[in-house]
Structure 1
Amino acid sequence: MPHVMTDRTQATLIGAIAPVVWGTTYAVTTELLPPDRPMTAALLRAAPAGVLLLLLTRQIPPASWWGRLVVLAVLNIGAFFPLLFLGAYRLPGGLAAVVGSAQPLIAAAVLLLAFRQPTPARQLVWAVLAVAGVGLAVFAGPVTVDVLGITAAFAGTASMATGVVLTRRWGLPPGMSGLAVTGWQLVLGAVVITPLVPLLDTGDFELDGPAIAGYAWLAIPGTAIAYAVWFSAGRRLPATSTALLGVLSPVVAALIGWVWLGQALSGFQSAGFALALAAALIGQTTAHRTPGTPRRPKRPGRAPAACPASVPAAP
């Protein structure tokens, strides 16, 4: 048991890197990138990072896995990135964060409806408290609601939540590393995004110094590194636990707004973000074994990479 807890804690800490880095996305988008170019931002975030990871790993997926890779690429990248940036361009960062913080609840719903796998009640309670905390922080201040932005943010959250669930259930293709799978998802996702650029982007594309810095930050730390550790955690943690880590993004976004952009937080807003952060962290302490899942005898050697959701993936 101590070994399992150590592995889980390590996976949680590694997985937390991703939402902390993603918490910078709203500030980078609004302060550094050209306006009205959400699809360009999505494409330049996915393509360079994916090509870099493929050059580093040089691994080809087995034929039986291409269908799964396409599904994961669409859910995690091809649909999520455009919806994410559409919401980021049209909504205040905090309001987009409220929608995004619902990811663990959506993941729990997908697990139950698609796989008849219930989520522990304690974990659901902490997920609800996380959403409530982010909601308190946002709605305690002035809020501007954009229907298209809200719709995009919710659809993107649902897409990512479903991708988290399937990443956990499918594991890794035989003979492939997590970095290689991440690279293929990013490249395939970029293929999906490419035709959307001329259709949906309306602003002028100005590649000045701040824009180059913003795109580079989103592509390398914000995508190549963050998604590698996110998918690694997603294969080792319960799907709802992984999704619950996403609540760290709005907390980081609020801190950046306070420190960098001079956005003051009221007492209610500070209390809301404190509640969200506490819920995200305490929610990780719930039992990692799904109720009703029989224990399997331990066998020597490394567990197979492509394991079902009920069996912890090998570190």
Structure 2
Amino acid sequence: MEGTLRWAALTAVAPVAWGANYYVTRQFLPADQPLWGAALRALPAGCLLLLAARQRPRGVWWGRSAVLGVLNTSAFFVFVYVASQTLATSTASMVMALSPLALTLGAWLLLAERPSPAHLVAAAVGPAGVVLMLGGPGAQTRPAGILASVAAMLVSTAGYLLSKRWDSGPGVLSVTAWQLTCGGVVLLVLAAVTEGAPPPVGGAAVAAYAYTSLVATALAFLAWFTGLRRLSAGTVGLLGLLNPVTGVLLGLSLADERLGVPQVAGMVLVLAAVLCGRPRAAAPGGRTGKAPQARAAGRPGGLAD
């Protein structure tokens, strides 16, 4: 159980980093070139991890890397960038809190990974907290931003489920590097064709791009996909609820946003859902639920090849 909690703690790095990324993107990056913003987030992270992995795709992994790159990187990053620029930090991140329900149900239907009753309850309680937080005073509901957030949630859920389905073979480091690089190349081409020259960046923007690429992408994706291999989809999805909590707290402390009593109650429900869906004791063989382990020898924790 202690080892499982360590994997959960590692996985939690990702939603916390993503929650902070909404604020960084909204405050410090240009709003009118989302493709360049997404490309400058994905491609440096992918190249850095590719240098560390020192392995290229082989066989079916060329196609799989392209599919995962489009879903988890190209489409996802563009939608998140648009949502970050058109919604308040708290609202943008809270819409994404619906992803645990989608991930839990998707894993049940497509991967035969049946959730525990606690996960089902938590998957319902979490969105209830989201509804409370979204309905507060001053909450932004601009249609473009809401649609972008929903689209980001749907494409990332599909990508995460495919990542879990294809988790045998290469290690997490390589698979993460391949999809970020593939997705980043697609974004770079689209940005150059449709948005022209890259945006000019000053000191604050350089620091912001460094955070989005190194922390909110390279580190966060490694943590997240490691969690998908070590924990059940339901547990990983519920840990994703730390994303909106981080966004709300940053919005309150740095962006002068306000929460009323319903929003505080919603945050309490979200945190209760995370605790309710915490990983259980491992079954014989070191497995937690039906989550697969890292396959290959010589890959401690599935983090490196």
TM above 0.5, yes or no, is: yes
Match for residue 22 of structure 2?
26
SS at match of 1:43: helix
Q: How does 1:290-309 map to 2 (within 5 A)?
A: 298=285
**Equivalent in 127, 143, 154 of residue 158 of structure 1:** 154
The alpha-carbon distance between structure 1 residues 281 and 192, as it changes in their structure 2 partners (threshold 3 A), is: farther
Letter in 2 for 1:33: L
TM-score computed with the length of structure 2 as normaliser: 0.87
**Equivalent in 61, 68, 72 of residue 65 of structure 1:** 61
Map Cα deviations across residues 154-205 of structure 1 (whole Å, 9 max, x no partner).
11101111222222222142xx432222111100011222243256659982
Shift of 1:67: 2.2
Distance 1:37 1:272 in 2: 33
Q: How does 1:103-252 map to 2 (within 5 A)?
A: 103-173=99-169, 176-198=170-192, 201=195, 205-252=199-246
Match for residue 7 of structure 1?
3
The alpha-carbon distance between structure 1 residues 135 and 256, as it changes in their structure 2 partners (threshold 3 A), is: same
Q: Which moved more, 1:256-265 or 1:246-255?
A: 256-265
Map Cα deviations across residues 254-305 of structure 1 (whole Å, 9 max, x no partner).
111222223233232222112212212321245777xxxxxxx849xxx9xx
Letter in 2 for 1:23: G
Letter in 1 for 2:115: T
Judge conservation of contact 1:97–1:249 (CA < 8 Å) in 2.
yes
Gaps of at least 5 residues in structure 1 are 290-296, 304-308
TM-score computed with the length of structure 1 as normaliser: 0.85
1:52 to 2:32 alignment: no
Shift of 1:111: 2.5
Report how many aligned residue pairs link the two structures.
294
Match for residue 313 of structure 1?
293
Letter in 2 for 1:249: N
Distance 1:242 1:152 in 2: 22
The alpha-carbon distance between structure 1 residues 15 and 117, as it changes in their structure 2 partners (threshold 3 A), is: closer
1:254 to 2:248 alignment: yes
Map Cα deviations across residues 35-75 of structure 1 (whole Å, 9 max, x no partner).
22221111111000111111122112221322222222222
Distance 2:87 2:30 in 1: 16
Q: How does 1:69-88 map to 2 (within 5 A)?
A: 69-88=65-84
Distance 1:287 1:69 in 2: 33
SS at match of 1:284: coil
Judge conservation of contact 2:118–2:277 (CA < 8 Å) in 1.
yes
Distance 2:228 2:154 in 1: 16
Match for residue 297 of structure 2?
none
Q: Which moved more, 1:110-119 or 1:85-94?
A: 110-119
Judge conservation of contact 2:89–2:251 (CA < 8 Å) in 1.
no
Distance 2:196 2:109 in 1: 39
Q: How does 1:246-285 map to 2 (within 5 A)?
A: 246-285=240-279
CA RMSD in angstroms comes to: 2.5
Shift of 1:220: 0.5
Letter in 2 for 1:263: E
SS at match of 1:102: helix
SS at match of 1:79: helix
Residue identity (%): 36
